[in-house]
Chains A and B, each alone.
Chain A
Amino acid sequence: MSLADFQSNYFQLFDLPVDFAVNLAQLGARYRQLQKELHPDRYAGASAHEQRLAVQYSALINEAYTTLRKPLSRVLYLLELSGMTSKDIAEQHIDGGFLIMQMELREKLESMEGLIDPETVLEHLVTEISQDIMALQKQFSQAYAAGDMSLAASACVKMQYLDKLLQEAEQIESRLIDR
């Protein structure tokens, strides 16, 4: 097992099974344990070569942890491991019903700032989007387990759409804070 192997499979780095379901407590504990061993701070008195290596290892551990911790990046990573490119994923067919639903959500978001109590409305909307994302995660998990990569990829694209909406909601929230 070497750096190259760990680079090619983040699950291996944390000694976890390649699956959507990840034990976050275990992931966090292993992440901290690895950084305790390999963080550049552990090599502050070492040679310049070793220090450079430590930065590379530590950066890889951070990258792997970040990727596996968040459901959306984990989903994208699983698809990538199964051989799909980002182009393959982007070309998935998305049903019209979903597109209409997310356009409606977007319109609601955009008309937010004129409301009397935008905070409460925004909170409801964020809850709604988050619940939809949870449902899609479940869909992905089942499709992935059944080996239906096309269905898994389309669930992933929908998650990307909704994640973008969540980010926009956050930006609106941040503007409301500054008001």
Chain B
Amino acid sequence: MALLHIAEPGQSPLPHQVKRAIGIDLGTTNSLVATVRGGRSIVLPDESGEVMLPSVVNYTDAGAPLVGLRALALAAQHPADTLMSVKRFMGRGSKDAINDARRSHYRLAEGEEGLVRFVTSSGELSPVEVSADILRVLRQRAVATLGGEVDGAVITVPAYFDEAQRQATKDAATLAGLRVLRLMNEPTAAAVAYGLDNAEQGVIAVYDLGGGTFDISILRLHKGVFEVLATGGDTALGGDDLDASLADWVLQQCGAPTLAAGQYRQLQAAARAAKERLSDELAVDIDLTGVLPSGGSIQVTRETFEELILPLVKRTLRSCRRCLRDAQLQTGIDNIVMVGGSTRVPLVREAVADFFQCSPLIDIDPDQVVALGAAIQADMLVGNRPEGDLLLLDVIPLSLGIETMGGLVEKIVPRNTTIPVSRAQEFTTYKDGQTALALHIVQGEREMVSDCRSLAHFELRGIPPMVAGAARIRVTFQVDADGLLNVAAREEITGSQSSITVKPSFGLSDDQITSMLQASFSHAAEDKLARQLAEQRLAAWQLLEGLKAALAADGDALLSSGERAEIVAQMTALRALLEGVDADAIRTQTERLGRQSEAFAARRMDRSIRDALAGVSLDALDDKVSQ
């Protein structure tokens, strides 16, 4: 299918430069893929016109797994082989997940480092692998619709996801063969979908009741800049819980019979259908034939349903109140964006409108709004949008800290700090000649390590031997724009760089990812080599193109003739290597040229700071209104 691109005059790049970028909402219940075409964000349907892909994978047959509706159809027959709501298990240890697993009737295996693994007829699978199977189907859908391989993807995650859950999501996308441009918070994506279409200014609250998670975010939109002021939520509360409370009520009314796994799945599905119908009707009958041993049907009124879910809705409002306080607003909320199918429930809408004193925006389908926003961000990140029309400044949802004496937590990056962020902390040795130092990184708001989430154990080695307290080890914690943590350490007195071993408490190491990727490519080793070569060529090409443009623009002003000649010589060497097929040589030379040109890049950034400030004083006048 031809790619139709309608460009605004003087704004967009030439049509042949348009890249294929997608946004993916990897949901607990359903997943979607969207892209921007002709300046509009649209969701991509499958061959039968369905937009939503149920996030369900069936592994009964050892061959290719079944994903979506076809898997869902087997849920009652093969409950342990049909994995649904896997997002709830992402980046979690078996101990945390055991209750959820019991409720879903999954068999869990004790994996390495306490990782969750599901036991199915096709062997043991991690939540990352299951999610990768869902993502692979969406990627294939995009390739078929867009007529070629995808250049990059933005994957959304609940804003309240912690580091391990984010890393697991990124791993799944990598495993599915996607180039991840960015992990994006779901509420931010929703705000983008609304904000850009309606050219909103002011303060926006995003109420996102997904299948398995609840998120609330408060953002300020100002001339295309989305600044997240605060975010909060509950990763263990979602639309599924509304269904479950109705299902449990039905069971109680019927004398609490014991159900087989498959029957409970059917009952949950019946409860979900009833929830959806109750948004339009005041009472509905739930047909229990084949679901309960007794069969028959039961009537449920909207009033009963509302009584059942009221405690859950109140729980979401508590998170809203805390988030509102964290945002430290001087003014009220101008708009509320509703996300997730369960926000169609009238009680939810009324409660939210009442709480924020403002009626919610509902003109974009709450099931699609996240994917639509992610596609806009993906389109911007691959370079299809005019520069400067959109920027997202997001925050870290949970505080990062380290363990100190007595099992206490010392916070290093507090929650709701804008990312990227870099914080340094100094440590010293407590024994003479000590050459190693252990650090334990945790995430959470509580004071005790045992109440927080363990993220990683770091070991700094190679500290030069000195008397106790003499070494000054500066550890830098950096959270990038995906919300992922990087740690670097350096001994300040001798300047020696300490090596760091990272043992993620949960999640996959790079080696594990590599071996899984290799396993999936093992049937075609040549493919793997070709892929590596293609990736190296792309990286080299990006660097060369960037430098060519940079030299033309600023080479004369910012480089001495010697420096310039050196860079040009290395560029020529890299271009020569690109004629060949030696991926390693291309990588080495790309690295060398990258280092060579780093000072030039830094000078350009320094200058853009000065240039950026020239002429903003006038804008400051309008800002007073919104401050």
Contact = CB atoms under 8 A, between A and B. Distances in A.
A40 B420 contact: yes
B318 A49 contact: no
B421 A29 contact: no
Interface residues of A, number: 49
A35 B380 CA distance: 15
B327 to A, nearest CB: 13
Contacts of A37: 608-609, 611-612
Contact of B418 (A36, A53, A62): A62
Contacts of A35: 225, 391, 393
B481 A41 contact: yes
Interface in A22-53: 23-26, 28-30, 32-42, 44-50, 53
Contacts of B49: none
B408 interface: no
A130 B155 CA distance: 42
Most chain B CB within a 10 A radius of its CB, from A25, A34, A56: A25
Contact of A46 (B152, B227, B422, B542): B542
Interface string B596-627: 01100111011011111100110111011001
Contact of A32 (B222, B422, B594): B222
Contact of A170 (B321, B325, B393, B418): B325
Interface of A is mostly: helix
Contacts of B322: 174, 177
Interface in B79-119: none
Contacts of B152: 44
Interface stretch (B234-242, B295-303, B382-390, B433-441): B382-390
A30 B616 contact: yes
Contacts of A163: none
Contacts of A13: 609
B420 A62 contact: yes
A111 interface: no
A144 B620 CA distance: 26
Contact of B421 (A41, A45, A59): A59
Most chain B CB within a 10 A radius of its CB, from A13, A32, A66: A32
Interface string A158-179: 0000000000001001100110
B475 to A, nearest CB: 15
A62 B421 contact: yes
B310 to A, nearest CB: 17
Most chain A CB within a 10 A radius of its CB, from B387, B481, B610: B481
Contacts of B227: 32
A28 B623 contact: yes
Nearest to A57: B605
B517 interface: no
A58 B394 CA distance: 12
A93 B611 CA distance: 45
Interface of A: 1-3, 6, 13-15, 23-26, 28-30, 32-42, 44-50, 53-60, 62-63, 65-66, 170, 173-174, 177-178
Given A38-B612, A53-B602, 12 more contacts: A25-B620, A26-B620, A30-B620, A41-B182, A41-B381, A41-B481, A45-B546, A53-B605, A57-B605, A59-B420, A63-B422, A177-B322
